[in-house]
Chains A and B, each alone.
Chain A
């Protein structure tokens, strides 16, 4: 079975400060890993993905994440927060399961950006 742990259900940063959202995963097979962003009353938008290629993955809106197998982590970072980054962020792990990719999501981290 696979699982995702997101540390910190709420994170606040000042505009221009570093954003760090933590994600640890558990999987019995090599997983695919994703970060999605959700704005209020909207669906999930893919930010970036790790699919066993480069361990440092760059995504949209200046976000990136590094896959660290030894730490079973896939933390999301952005050097400088913008007001428009305020949203909820979900880390997800995807593994093969009977002919399809089963995706398990974390509980999400709400990012607040303070002006």
Chain B
């Protein structure tokens, strides 16, 4: 068990550019979640995958945000045409299929949009 891994840890981009973040969940976990955390706030739920199926995406912030998990393992979160308001920490979490659904978090990707 190597924990949830996120890459990159930090991303600086210019407004209008596209960015993509990667999350590798704990290997035996089939559930994967993306959150956004802005300064002074708790994590805010964005989307949820069970295996490769994206079962909840209504909380994605706009149509500029999209997420994939093509083979039910790693996931990517893409933000198109970034805006300064997208600057935040993006957190990924995973949980096992059974049990109490405790979510285990990665270290996050901190995005700065200039």
The residue among B55, B93, B102, B107 with the most chain A CB atoms within 10 A of its own CB is B102
* Residues 64 to 114 of chain B near chain A (Cβ within 8 Å): 91, 93, 95, 100-108, 110
A110: nearest chain-B partner, CB-CB: B40
Contact B102 A43 (CB under 8 A): no
User: How far is it, in angstroms, between the C-alpha of A90 and the C-alpha of B105 when the chains are bound?
Assistant: 13
Size of the B side of the interface (Cβ < 8 Å), in residues, is 28
Taking residues whose C-beta sits less than 8 angstroms from the other chain, chain A's interface range is 20 to 34
* Shortest distance from the beta carbon of B108 to any chain A beta carbon, whole Å: 5
With contacts A44-B43, A100-B56, A108-B41 known, what are 11 further pairs, Cβ within 8 A?
A32-B101, A43-B105, A43-B107, A44-B93, A44-B105, A90-B42, A94-B101, A101-B101, A105-B44, A107-B40, A108-B40
What is B's interface to A at a CB cutoff of 8 Å?
4, 6, 9, 31, 33, 40-45, 48, 50, 55-56, 91, 93, 95, 100-108, 110
